[in-house]
Every structure is written in structure tokens, then in C-alpha cells.
């Protein structure tokens, strides 16, 4: 497939994924590419992984735009993302806010700065990106998918700052769905475990799975499939949070 020049009339649909270089974000990027999207994605320090994703997208015959930004500075990052995306592509059909920072509560001395960091990446950056790209998304009758977390409604001791910020993103999803309707659909995905932390002991994994009716952890590909469902199939769905947890939320 020929590569179309920047700012040309763009035939392919275009998606933007934050945090798209690794793990769940990478799976989402590649699933969108396989569905025919050209993609832009952000990363922070994973330059090597971002290069691997870029090369993989090129092998599949699609355009790819990696963007190095720090979403802990939402104003600067959102402006950089907007300038880069609009310089290369003439449209945007899907925005996936996937970038996340998962960490336990800090001590008292760092509690406030931690809350501000988590709020910046989980609430402020998605809000600013939604506003900056709202015109393009309305033109394409596009959609936004926010990666929330089951812990937003089931807070876990020791991770209260993280849980509260994801609850903020949950509420932002509902608000944006009302604000951007009827031309842009906004939904969220609230996963349970879809990729184990590297340092989680086997006994802790087994303990978690005993509370999951489907008796397995999810995978990044499960999340990517849910993103595609919300983007392409769920045309009459907005303001909804899809619990992707193997039934954990009903157990």
C-alpha cells in the first residue's frame, strides 16, 4: 500500500492511543492497525519499544506516528500531541486514553505530589486531549475509549490515590459522553487483571483467580478486542463502562 503524504486527503481511518508502546497499549495499537487504521501513539521513556511498534506497523502497511511526551504535564503534552497528529493526518476517528501510572500510596511527605501526578495522567490529560480533538472526532463521527479500572468502584487499601484518580476518569467518561453527543461516542473499559505485575507471587495470583468466575486472568488482547467492539460495533453505546474482569465484579 502506498504511503500517503502528510496533510493529504486521508482515506484510512486514524486512531490515537496514549501509552501505546508497551503492554496493553501496544496490543490496542496493533489491533487497530489490523482493522485498517493508521495510528499515532504516545510513549514516555520506552523509545526502543516504540521503535519496535513503529516497525511492526510499517510491516503491516500502515502509517505510524510515535510521539514522545510526558503526560504528567498535561497542558504541554496535549499541545505537542495535537500539533504532531494534525501535521501528519487530516482526520481522527478514535482516541484511546490508555496511558496509566499504577503505584501504591506514597508516604505522607509525598502524598500530595503523588495525587497530583496520578490526577494529571488519568484525568487532566484525557480531558485536554478530548477537547483538543473534539472537532476532528465530530467530523468523523468518531469515538473515545478511556481505560479506567475495576478499582475505581472497588478501591483497594494502599492504592487509594490511584483508585481515586481512576474514579475521576470514570466520571469524566460519563461527562464527555453527554458533552460530545450526538457526534462522538465516549465509553470506558474497566479491566480486572489483564497482565500480572512481574513481582506478584504465584500464591497471590491464585488467590485473585479464586474470586474470578471465569477462573483466568485477562490478557492485553482481550482489552484490544473490547476497544474494537466499542469503536466499530457498539454504535448505540455511549457513556458506558465495560467491566472486562472475567466476572470479578459480580463475585
Please confirm, yes or no, whether 221 is among the known catalytic residues: no
- H-helix or E-strand spanning residue 205: helix 202-209
Q: Are 202 and 187 in contact (CB under 8 A)?
A: no
CA angle (164, 231, 34) in 5-degree steps: 115
Q: Are 12 and 38 in contact (CB under 8 A)?
A: yes
| C-alpha torsion 140→9→71→235, nearest 10 | 20
Exactly one of 31, 38, 93, 149 is catalytic; which is it? 149
Edge-to-edge strand list for the sheet holding 94-97: 64-68, 38-43, 14-17, 94-97, 143-147, 185-191, 241-244
Exactly one of 43, 62, 162, 185 is catalytic; which is it? 162
Please confirm, yes or no, whether 110 is among the known catalytic residues: no
- Structure-block grid coordinates of residue 89: 493526518
Q: Which residues does 187 contact at the CB level (< 8 Å), separation at least 6?
A: 143, 144, 145, 146, 173, 177, 230, 234, 237, 238, 239, 240, 241, 242
Please confirm, yes or no, whether 23 is among the known catalytic residues: yes
Active site positions, annotated:
23, 149, 162
Amino acid at each position: 500500500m502506498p504511503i500517503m503524504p502528510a496533510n493529504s486527503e486521508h482515506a484510512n481511518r486514524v486512531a490515537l492511543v496514549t501509552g501505546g508502546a508497551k503492554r496493553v497499549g501496544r496490543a490496542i495499537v496493533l489491533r487497530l492497525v489490523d482493522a485498517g487504521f493508521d495510528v499515532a501513539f504516545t510513549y514516555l521513556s520506552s523509545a526502543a519499544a516504540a521503535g519496535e511498534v513503529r516497525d511492526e506497523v510499517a510491516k503491516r502497511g500502515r502509517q505510524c506516528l510515535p510521539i514522545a511526551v510526558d503526560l504528567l504535564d498535561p497542558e504541554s503534552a496535549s499541545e505537542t500531541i495535537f500539533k504532531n497528529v494534525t501535521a501528519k493526518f487530516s482526520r481522527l476517528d478514535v482516541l484511546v486514553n490508555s496511558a496509566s501510572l499504577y503505584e501504591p500510596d506514597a508516604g505522607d511527605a509525598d502524598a500530595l505530589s503523588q495525587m497530583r501526578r496520578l490526577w494529571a495522567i488519568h484525568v487532566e490529560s484525557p480531558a485536554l486531549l478530548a477537547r483538543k480533538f473534539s472537532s476532528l472526532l465530530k467530523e468523523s463521527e468518531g469515538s473515545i475509549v478511556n481505560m479506567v479500572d475495576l478499582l475505581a468502584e472497588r478501591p483497594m487499601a494502599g492504592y487509594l490515590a490511584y483508585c481515586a484518580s481512576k474514579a475521576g476518569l470514570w466520571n469524566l467518561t460519563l461527562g464527555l459522553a453527554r458533552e460530545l453527543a450526538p457526534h462522538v461516542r465516549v465509553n470506558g473499559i474497566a479491566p480486572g487483571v489483564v497482565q500480572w505485575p512481574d513481582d506478584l507471587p504465584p500464591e497471590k495470583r491464585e488467590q485473585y483467580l479464586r474470586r474470578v468466575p471465569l477462573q483466568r486472568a485477562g490478557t492485553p488482547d482481550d482489552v484490544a478486542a473490547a476497544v474494537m467492539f466499542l469503536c466499530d460495533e457498539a454504535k448505540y453505546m455511549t457513556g458506558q463502562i465495560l467491566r472486562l474482569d472475567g466476572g470479578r465484579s459480580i463475585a
